[in-house]
């Protein structure tokens, strides 16, 4: 029966080669699913932030005379941190002046994008082209951190690909 022992040994060696590969594929699938889920969450958070501020605070009188905007931003920040801790929520509101040029209604809160240099919602520009056809323009920004749970992918995504989180802006 020496052939049976050799066959068992070959199966054992094959299993040692295949099982780590299968674990890597399963881990990558889990991380990819988590990343897609977080990307969807950040898009929803920015959209809902802009929608909430637009619904509750879009009237210029409300923006100027009440603490509507800070309260709405604070509520969305608390909600976002319940979903994913470490989330960042920011809002920018613009309105046209009597000449049709837009100006910031909100005070900049200093929130920067992941690259550290660009203020949130600045890619849309400031000026008549941005809000000429609208009375009030609201930009909602959300950023959530991403930490992989699989050790090998944590190194690959964190150090090699520099994936540290997801961010999104929504303009209404």
pLDDT (tens digit per residue) in 13-23: 888 999 999 98
Give pLDDT, residue 162: 66
pLDDT in tens, 114-125: 666 566 676 554
| Mean pLDDT of all residues in 38-50 | 93
pLDDT at 131 over 60: no
pLDDT at 76 over 90: yes
Q: Enter the tokens of residue 24.
A: 């890597």
Give pLDDT, residue 81: 93
| Mean pLDDT of all residues in 4-11 | 73
Q: What share of the chain is helix, strand, coil (3-state, %, to 5)?
A: 55, 15, 30
Rounded CA-CA distance 79/172 in Å is 20
pLDDT in tens, 46-66: 999 999 988 888 676 666 667
Of residues 146 and 96, more confidently modeled: 146
Give pLDDT, residue 28: 82
pLDDT band (50, 70, 90) for residue 45: very high
The distance from CA 145 to its chain's CA centroid, rounded to whole angstroms, is 8
- What's the chain's average pLDDT? 77
pLDDT at 5 over 50: yes
Rounded CA-CA distance 116/44 in Å is 23
Are 143 and 165 contacting, i.e. CB atoms less than 8 angstroms apart? yes
Give pLDDT, residue 95: 74
Give pLDDT, residue 105: 64
Closest C-alpha to 89, from 130, 121, 56, 124 = 121
């Amino acid at each position: 029966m020496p052939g049976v022992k050799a066959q068992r040994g070959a199966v054992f060696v094959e299993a040692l080669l295949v099982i780590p590969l299968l674990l890597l594929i399963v881990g990558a699938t889990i991380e990819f699913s988590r990343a897609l889920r977080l990307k969807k969450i950040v898009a929803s958070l920015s959209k809902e932030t802009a929608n909430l501020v637009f619904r509750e605070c879009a009237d210029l009188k409300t923006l100027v005379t009440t603490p509507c905007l800070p309260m709405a931003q604070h509520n969305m920040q608390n909600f976002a941190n319940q979903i994913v801790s470490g989330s960042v929520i920011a809002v920018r509101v613009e309105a046209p002046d009597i000449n049709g040029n837009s100006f910031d209604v909100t005070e900049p809160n200093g929130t920067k994008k992941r690259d550290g240099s660009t203020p949130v919602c600045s890619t849309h520009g400031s000026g008549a082209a941005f809000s000429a056809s609208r009375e009030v323009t609201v930009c909602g920004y959300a950023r959530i951190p991403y930490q992989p749970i699989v050790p090998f992918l944590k190194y690959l995504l964190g150090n090699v690909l520099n994936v540290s989180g997801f961010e999104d802006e929504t303009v209404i």
